[in-house]
Amino acid sequence: MDKGNGTPVTEFILVGLSEIPELQQYLFCIFLCIYIITVLGNASIILIYKFSLSLHTPMYFYLSNFSFLEICYVSTSSPKMLQNMLAEKKRISFYGCFTQIYGIVHLAGTEFYVLAAMAYDRYNAICHPLLYRIIMNKAVCIKLLVGSWVIGAANALVHTLLTHTLSFCSNKVNHIFCDVPPLLKLACTDTWINEIVMYIIGGSVTGGAFILIIISYIQIISTILTIHSATGRKKAFSTCTSHLTVVTIFYGSIFFMYLRPKSSYAMHHDTVVAIMYTIIAPLLNPFIYSLRNNDVKSAVRKLLNRRKLAWK
């Protein structure tokens, strides 16, 4: 299974958040609550979109799909992490570990381009309002979404296969889940090829999406500044602030985690960053997009009123 001077590995041991047994149950309760709230919150966004005709626009089409993506994303790491918090030995099988790596990298790569598609949608809504419905038609929305998943899948396949070729000197992963950087730290063989590929391909995937977002927002801001009405400018900015908040949290933590040399990996910092982009970001998503969004709040009120009338 492993080559070179490494010891054959059939499973990995995940160190997790803490090795202190007394803390495990408290951590389990905290992260179980976070996981349940995250799934229910994002599922609520999907259901609100499905049952509210007023939200059947490209913006909310992407938001509902982004919420589905967040549910998948948090579900690749949290269930195993929660299981290990109560387990005496925090094991994950060799192939289970690489399946988790593929899932996390795939969904992260997909999320980059879904965020870019959402920025492109806001660009067309603000910069080309009269042509918005024509440009962002259903076929275009679906193609951008499918393209995001394909790019994410291809990126994940490259990183997972390259990491799989390594031989390992230890099976103790100093992290809360299986990921590429912590496994590179365990490698007996030289990982320079893996690191170069991570910088070039991973950097191209994340950087490409980031550049698309930056270009979209440069155009958006330029257009907003030409609006003479202060109310109009405020309304235009308000449709972008939620998206920009999510982009900042997700990109900031991902760049810190992956685009660094292997020698700078540190468990404490990496664990905090990993929690930010795999657990906290999906948790905040429904709150960021709903609490500041009048359309979503209005749709919720209508659904609740409709439900009350149905009960009478």
Closest CA to 14 of 184, 183, 179, 177: 177
Give CATH for domain 11-311. 1.20.1070.10
| Position with higher pLDDT, 234 vs 182 | 182
Kindly report the average pLDDT of the chain as a whole number: 85
Mean pLDDT of 147-169: 92
Q: Would you say 117 and 62 are in contact if contact means Cβ atoms under 8 Å apart?
A: yes
Predicted confidence (pLDDT) at residue 141 exceeds the cutoff of 90:
yes
Provide the residue ranges of all domains of the chain, joining segments of one domain with +.
Answer: 11-311
Size (the chain), residues: 312
DSSP string, 179-214: -HHHHHHHBSS--HHHHHHIIIIIHHHHHHHHHHHH
Reported confidence tier of residue 2, pLDDT bands at 50, 70, 90: very low
Predicted confidence (pLDDT) at residue 307 exceeds the cutoff of 80:
no
At 5 the pLDDT is: 52
Mean pLDDT of 205-219: 90
Closest CA to 110 of 145, 158, 62, 162: 145
Predicted confidence (pLDDT) at residue 76 exceeds the cutoff of 90:
yes
Mean pLDDT of 195-215: 87
At 269 the pLDDT is: 63
Question: Which tokens go with 114?
Answer: 């879904």
Q: Would you say 171 and 13 are in contact if contact means Cβ atoms under 8 Å apart?
A: yes
Reported confidence tier of residue 275, pLDDT bands at 50, 70, 90: confident
